[in-house]
Amino acid sequence: MKKILLLLLALIPVLSVRASESAVPSALEHFVWGAEAGGAIDLTSNDMSTINLDAFFGYKSNSIDVLGIGAGVNMMVSNATRSFPVYALLRTGFSSRPTLLFMDLRAGCVFNNVTYSKQTTRLYLSPGIGINLARGRSFTSYLALSYVYNGMRSFQKSDEWCDINGLSMACVRLGISF
């Protein structure tokens, strides 16, 4: 009887380790959220360069950094125009291991509030690449370079006609995700 009791006491640590390994991961392990700050330079010479703030949330797994939705505010530097993109986001490094580089894809719509005209809703696209800067157990910081297409259309500005057929921008974002 004494030998059986000693054997059971010796097996308790082994059984507890196996039980914790087989535990179902919680849903919060797959939840990700983050924020970004950056800027974009207008490549179409319409004087619409921006300062950008974005936030997102979604799903993460071993090979997907973010699959979710995001929204932002793009404030034009030279005028009072504001753009509010709302988009689906996919960020992945194509590997289940941590990678240095990743792909960042965003597609959705943008609400353009032009001071001199009515609000318009247009297409928003932003493909890009990024580099991971620092990674901890609960966070990842990164720098992303992307192209941004804002489907903004022409508008009347006082006595001047602003002939815009979509904005093309080069964008840099500094972000962190948790």
CATH number, residue 109: 2.40.160.20
Query: Could you report the per-residue pLDDT of 7-45, keeping only the tens digit for each?
Result: 545 555 544 444 444 444 676 889 999 999 999 999 998
pTM score > 0.85 for this model?
no
Residue 2 forms part of a structural domain: no
Q: Report whether pLDDT(6) > 70.
A: no
Residue 117 forms part of a structural domain: yes
Range of the domain at 153: 27-177
When divided into structural domains, the chain yields a total of 1
For residue 174, what are its two tokens? 């500094």
Q: What does the pLDDT read at residue 98?
A: 87
For residue 108, what are its two tokens? 């959705």
Query: Could you report the per-residue pLDDT of 127-165, keeping only the tens digit for each?
Result: 999 999 999 989 999 999 999 999 988 776 666 667 788
Q: What does the pLDDT read at residue 127?
A: 98
Q: Which residue has the higher pLDDT, 53 or 79?
A: 53
Q: Going along 5-136, which residue ranges are E strands?
A: 31-42, 50-59, 64-76, 82-92, 101-113, 120-135
